[in-house]
Structures are given as C-alpha cells and as structure tokens.
Amino acid sequence: MIIISFVAGLIFGIGLIISGMADPAKVLAFLDLAGLWNPSLIFVMAGAIGIGFFAFLWAKSRKTTLLGGEMKLPSATKIDRRLIIGAVMFGIGWGIAGFCPGPALVGLGMGLPKALIFVAAMLAGMALYELLDRPRGG
C-alpha cells in the first residue's frame, strides 16, 4: 500500500509540475484577470474537473476501492458558514502565494523557499483550527 501511495503521489506531483500548477508565477498570472492574464491553467482545471466528475460517479457505485479498502467518499452536501469562510480563506491564500496545498508540497520538494513559508503557514493554520475546533469540556 505504501508503494502504491508513493507512486500515486509521484504521478500527481509530476502532473502538477508539467501542467504549471507548481509554478506560483504561472498560477498568479492565471488569477490576474485585470492584468496580464494567462488563461492556460483553464485547460488543466477543466481536465481535472472532467476526470474527477466521472471518477466520483464511478466511485459512488462501488463499496470498496480498487485495492479492496473501504470506499470513503464525502457525505456533506450542506453549504454553510464554515464552508464559505474556508473557501474564502483558501482563495485568499492561493491568490497571495500562488500555491494551494498539493503544489506547495511539490514546491517544497523542489526546494522553493516560498513553498517552505507556505507549508509552515498551512500547518500552523491546521493546528490552530484543531485547537479552536476542539469540543470544550465542562
């Protein structure tokens, strides 16, 4: 299972590098609709959404993964305040840094200093969330 996970992560990381998603300058140019907009990542996102759509349709019809494990798919369908705040925070971070979590880890592996700062901030944010979201004992 570890080898399969490693290979899947390696393929994903290589795809991020080839597509340009691991290049913060390209991502920021894609997000700069009012400036020198670079629309090339639209094709990457459209491809990912298309593949993901059909993959999720197929996965919903299965009880187990291809490797025999339990199929665990998201079950929440409600759009609530927490989801909206999280999406806004994700978008702000993406727009400031040009990274989201996957490409940031690839950038970290590539030795990009900006990725190290992003990943450290991401881990700090995750820790803060866990701290604040803990059930309060009486």
pLDDT tens digits along 88-98: 999 998 899 99
Neighbours of 30 (CB within 10 A): 19
pLDDT reading at 103 higher than 60: yes
Q: What is the pLDDT of residue 75?
A: 87
- Joined together, the tokens standing for residue 75 give 């079950």
The domain ranges of the chain are 1-37+76-134
* Total-model pTM: 0.75
Nearest of 32, 4, 14, 41 to residue 103 by alpha carbon:
14
Percent of the chain at pLDDT above 70? 98
What would the mean pLDDT of 112-127 be, rounded to a whole number?
Answer: 92
CB-count burial class (<10 Å; 0-12, 13-18, 19+) for 121:
middle
pLDDT reading at 137 higher than 70: no
Indicate the residue type of 63. Answer: K
Bridge partners, residue 12, by sequence = none
pLDDT reading at 138 higher than 80: no
Q: What is the pLDDT of residue 136?
A: 64
pLDDT tens digits along 4-52: 989 999 999 999 999 988 999 999 999 998 988 999 899 999 999 999 9
Question: How far is 54 from 15, CA to CA, in rounded Å?
Answer: 19
